[in-house]
Chains A and B, each alone.
Chain A
Amino acid sequence: MIRILLRYLVLFSLTFLTLSALSFSLVYLFPTEPVTTLTGITPQNLVQHEALVTQYHLDDSYLVQFAHYLGDLFNGNWGVSLFSGEPLLDEIMLALPATIELSAYAMSIVLVVGIPLGCYSGLKAYTGSDYTINSVSVVVNSVPVVWLAVIFILTFSLQFGWLPLSGRINLLFDIPSQTGFLFIDILLTDNIDTARALKDAFLHLILPTLAIAFISTAALVRITRRSVIDVLNQPYIIAARAKGLSSRQIFFRHVLRNALLPALPLLAMQITTLITNAMIVETLFSWPGIGSWLIQAIYQRDYSALRMGMLAVSTLVVMITIAIDLFNRLIDPSREKYESVTI
């Protein structure tokens, strides 16, 4: 057990090292001065330039620079934004939770809808309802998320006016950011109408969450369906039938677990798609998450922000992927204890 955890920890550290090396290389690859990209400060005169170069060890060899770069990363000294001048750590810590929140809600919808629907479709394989579910999911999966989000806005916000157009919550509510997760922050804030704030936040959440969830649900339905069909053809299901178990017992005791175990790694791959989609949708709904933050940084040529944003997002994705694989390893008895880890 500890051994497995250690292996995953080593894998994560190595991946993180590679990612930070990549982000460090951006310091030299971006078309500005390395000092500017690294610190986010444009030196006004030679003296300041000299001071920054010595502070960040830019005179030393690349390896020494990289070592100091890593040290700065862990100390929270991520540099400042080229554009706003705010420390990047603070900005990312404000934006990232908003994205995580959005993706988490979308993910739970995906799981709650996708798995039962996929199982149903798999159990009724090659019947009318299966074909319907399957073809709808193929169509939905091929829809670009941008288009879907725009259609949602057009219909539900502009045409009917049921749901708000953009943002996380009405600006009238003044919620100070404490954890970065809006619902927790609302509950922590004292002098507001909590119930109305929660309702408002919820209404703001519906459209972006659905836009993201739709596409990933479609993918998950098909993954689960395939997996269930495969399991149903296994000899042990025939054997379970011959034992005289009812279809219900067979499904819950033998089909479900065996179908979901191989589906889990595929789900991990879907999560990266989901986060990417979330970042696109954020921009459309002016959701103050890491996606719209990064796209702004691109518009403004905010090189230091791009560098750190890329590192933060990729680290998050790697963390989730490894966590899912670890989870899968822990619950799947057929995986060998000493099998090497992979992402």
Chain B
Amino acid sequence: MPLLDIKNLTLEIDTGTQSIKALDKINLTVNSGEIRALVGESGSGKSLIVQAIAGATPPNWTITADRMSWSGNNLLSMSEQQRRQILRKDIGVVFQNALASLDPSVTLGEQLEESLPDQLVEGNWFWQRKQNRRKVVVSTVHKVGIKDHEHYLRAYPHQIPTDIGQKLMLAMALISQPKMLIADDPTRGMETTTKVQVLKLLSRLNQTRSLGILFVSHDLLAIASMSDTMTVLYCGQTVESGKMKNIRKRPLHPYTKALLDSAPSFTKDLPPKSELPTLAGTIPTLQHLPIGCRLGPRCPRAQRDCVNVPAVRKIHDHSYSCHFPLHRDKS
């Protein structure tokens, strides 16, 4: 049974004058011990999915889904209390904007201790528990690669650099020893050496503790090396999803192909000084979404049928939604 199983997740944002389908029938599963990459350009709704799973939604959002379950339990129908317990114990979330996601008036040490569920603290008396709590916090902070814990645990969010903030967010998500980690661009803007450390930590946890990871990013190079499966998102629609190596070898959706081509290291035989391949145009804003397949206006293979939303088609565990997929013209 998958840890997280989402089918046809639709998110509507009510702007007062109109209601916008920011996410349109998203399908996503994360199995235990799997690293699932969620990619797509900015504005494709990656962070919205993260927020929808974390349950932190403003009142003007409406979430509907055919299925949204956490190891078999329906997340949408369960009580607030149950859902909170799952978030507290089983799911760790790293939000995109690390420094803004830290309370400016509380020291980082206190915030970390707060994320630690009481069940994981040993000791019977409060002084023992306090000591133990401190110990767990310090070891977690070391684990994510912050050495100077004395200084940073006493600091306030505005006093620390961004990459330390990102690592602390990661520490906060991992301290409760979750079964799944949702990491929304945890390595954004990090320098390469630091980034590699973080990615290594994540793959190690994935292997040793069979931590399921939903890795949201647009850094294809980082993702390709570590993740098992990939879901490609465009403008709030899942365009393709499947095993990483299958998608890399044979992308079926034109958008996936364009995305892979735009990362220079995936295209092996790129002649010197040639123009880099890109998809013309930009991602449409939420207010001006095209009907049907939302890639339509930018798609090099678009035809008249593309004004209808393509159904999800499946070949083994590789699914795509496109009327005119690549590599399948003969069939």
Q: Which residues of A contact B (CB under 8 A)?
A: 126, 233-236, 238-246, 253-254, 257-258, 261, 332-334
Contact = CB atoms under 8 A, between A and B. Distances in A.
Interface residues of B, number: 30
Given A244-B87, A334-B156, A239 B105 contact: no
A69 B101 CA distance: 56
A241 B83 CA distance: 11
B85 interface: yes
Interface in B86-142: 86-89, 91, 93, 95, 97, 100-107, 114-115
A239 B170 CA distance: 12
A241 B105 contact: no
Given A238-B54, A334-B156, A245 B114 contact: yes
A106 B263 CA distance: 67
B93 A235 contact: no
Contacts of B107: 333
B56 A241 contact: yes
Contacts of B51: 238
A113 to B, nearest CB: 24
A98 B106 CA distance: 40
A257 B106 CA distance: 9
Of A239, A261, A333, most B-chain CB atoms within 10 Å: A239
Contacts of A234: 100
B97 A235 contact: yes
A254 B104 CA distance: 9
Given A236-B104, A243-B114, 10 more contacts: A126-B59, A235-B95, A236-B103, A243-B93, A244-B88, A253-B103, A253-B114, A257-B106, A258-B104, A333-B156
A261 B55 contact: no
Contacts of B250: none
B158 interface: yes
Contacts, number: 71
A289 to B, nearest CB: 38
Interface of B: 51, 54-56, 58-59, 84-89, 91, 93, 95, 97, 100-107, 114-115, 156, 158, 169, 172
Given A244-B88, A334-B156, A235 B54 contact: no
B102 A236 contact: yes
B106 A242 contact: no
Contacts of A245: 84, 88, 114
B55 A241 contact: yes
A243 B88 contact: yes
Contact of B85 (A126, A238, A244, A257): A244
B100 A236 contact: yes
A257 B107 CA distance: 13
B95 A243 contact: no
B172 A334 contact: no
Of A233, A261, A332, A333, most B-chain CB atoms within 10 Å: A333
Contacts of A253: 103, 106, 114
Given A244-B84, A244-B89, A334-B156, A239 B114 contact: no
28 contacts: A235-B95, A235-B97, A236-B101, A236-B104, A238-B54, A238-B56, A238-B95, A239-B169, A240-B103, A241-B54, A242-B54, A242-B55, A242-B91, A242-B93, A243-B114, A243-B115, A244-B89, A245-B84, A245-B88, A253-B106, A254-B103, A254-B106, A258-B103, A258-B104, A333-B104, A333-B107, A334-B105, A334-B158
Which 10 A-B residue pairings sit nearest by Cβ, starting from the closest? A244-B88, A244-B87, A239-B101, A242-B54, A238-B56, A235-B100, A242-B93, A241-B56, A333-B156, A236-B103
A243 B100 contact: no
Nearest to B54: A242
A242 B89 CA distance: 11
A241 B91 CA distance: 12
A41 B100 CA distance: 65
Nearest to A241: B56
A315 B323 CA distance: 78
Contacts of A244: 84-89
Nearest to B105: A257
A246 B84 contact: yes
B81 to A, nearest CB: 8
A49 to B, nearest CB: 63
Nearest to A256: B105
Contacts of A240: 103
Given A238-B51, A238-B54, A334-B156, A243 B87 contact: yes
A310 B117 CA distance: 58
Contacts of B102: 236, 239
Contacts of A243: 87-88, 93, 114-115, 172
Contact of A261 (B86, B88, B100, B105): B105
Contacts of B89: 244
Nearest to A126: B59
Contacts of A332: 105
B228 to A, nearest CB: 24
Nearest to B172: A243
Nearest to A336: B158
Given A243-B87, A243-B115, A244-B85, A238 B101 contact: yes
A255 B84 CA distance: 18
Nearest to A125: B59
